[in-house]
Chains A and B, each alone.
Chain A
Amino acid sequence: MALPPFRDVVDEHRALVWRFLAVAVGRDDVDDVAQETFLAALRAYPRCNDATHLDRWLLKIASRKAIDHHRRTARSPHAMAEVPEEPAARVPDGDDGLWAAVAGLPAKQRAAVVLRHVLDRPYDEIAWLLACSPDAARANVAAGLKRLREVIT
């Protein structure tokens, strides 16, 4: 199947990618990481051999960019101060608390939780997106949820 014009790919999937990244990296950084994601996608696009599943092809790039983003910010001293201590500090119930709790998750758990419970993606796909086994995908989601339930008071 021939690749559609990239313009149509962005139009069709931008909201999905943005929604994933909004929760996976947070509202402050979502625009930057979404741009990085589509720039990387544009670069790789002629070599894409999955024209019938461009949504998951884009989500794979977005997942990598989200995890890279956390590695990058975790290394900067400014962001280090914001990473919650172990055991995680308790946060209040409500959306603010949920955002804070999600922000405290390790990068891979956070991506896994978002793919499963925000985007409703199946575990075998999450495994492919995060380059791990389906069991590891389940374990990441379960660990992430456990932690969210623990920190939300």
Chain B
Amino acid sequence: MSDPVRRLARLVPRTEARTASADLAAQVADLAAAAGRLDVALAEVESPIGSLLVAVTPRGLVRVAFEDEDRDLVLDDLARRVSPRILAAAAATDEVRRQLDQYFEGGRRRFDVRVDRRLMTAFTRQVLRRTARVGFGEVATYGQIAAAIGRPRAARAVGAALGANPVPIVVPCHRVIGSSGSLIGYAGGLDRKTTLLRLEGSLPG
């Protein structure tokens, strides 16, 4: 008989363990979400402006990140500021993914999802609440948003707050442009802002 000690180490190879445990995170995520123990559910959504990371908490959509935002940085920030209990989870992100798909296919003009505002400062909340009222196919200027929140001279601060929008597209900061009609800036880059405004018919295709 060969010594059992040496054979124990070979009983379950590391490669088998790696392969066999591949679906563990998804299984745990669905069980945890159903039991209300997942604080942040993640999913990637394919779109005409690239892959979007969406993060959903029990309070609502907390983050939408563009393809070129470093996923590790986005997740570390969520872990620190919301909760480290973060997993990719299909069911918990279903509704947001469905509505984004409909929007990009042209079949949805407004989002009907709750937004978790924990990543917004008080001023950003105020700016984004006003921005959320700019409808599909419309645009507003930075100055108009500033005036609407009672801070007519704060157009530049409004721009900064829009740049810090943690849930772009769903809160449509892309609909806010310069008073001359130029697009000015966008956290996701001007190409994406152009694509979104064309999709909504606000810019000629």
Contacts and interface: CB of A to CB of B under 8 A. Distances in A.
Nearest to B10: A95
Contacts of B40: 5
Contact of B21 (A18, A145, A153): A18
Interface in B1-31: 1-5, 7-9, 11-12, 14, 16-18, 20-22, 24-25, 27-28, 31
A8 interface: yes
A8 B7 contact: no
Contacts of A45: 84-85
Contacts of B9: 117-118, 120
Contacts of A16: 17
A5 B17 contact: no
Contacts of B86: 5-7
B75 A38 contact: no
Measured as residues with beta carbon below 8 angstroms from the partner, the interface class of chain A is 35 or more
A80 interface: no
B115 to A, nearest CB: 21
B78 to A, nearest CB: 7
Nearest to A41: B28
A30 to B, nearest CB: 8
Given A2-B79, A39-B32, A95-B7, A153 B24 contact: no
Contact of A10 (B1, B11, B25, B37): B25
Contacts of A118: 8-9, 11-12
Contacts of B127: none
A107 interface: no
Contacts of B38: 42
Given A5-B76, A7-B42, A45-B84, A113 B8 contact: yes
A133 B25 CA distance: 33
A44 B12 CA distance: 28
Given A23-B8, A42-B32, A34 B75 contact: no
Contacts of A113: 8
B8 to A, nearest CB: 4
A113 B37 CA distance: 33
Interface of A: 2-8, 10-11, 14-19, 22-23, 30-31, 34-35, 38-39, 42-43, 45-46, 93, 95, 98-99, 101-102, 113-114, 117-118, 120, 145, 148-149, 152-153
19 contacts: A2-B84, A5-B75, A7-B25, A10-B87, A14-B18, A14-B25, A15-B18, A30-B20, A35-B28, A35-B31, A39-B31, A42-B37, A45-B85, A46-B83, A46-B84, A113-B8, A117-B8, A120-B9, A148-B4
Interface of B: 1-5, 7-9, 11-12, 14, 16-18, 20-22, 24-25, 27-28, 31-32, 35, 37-38, 40, 42, 75-76, 78-80, 83-88
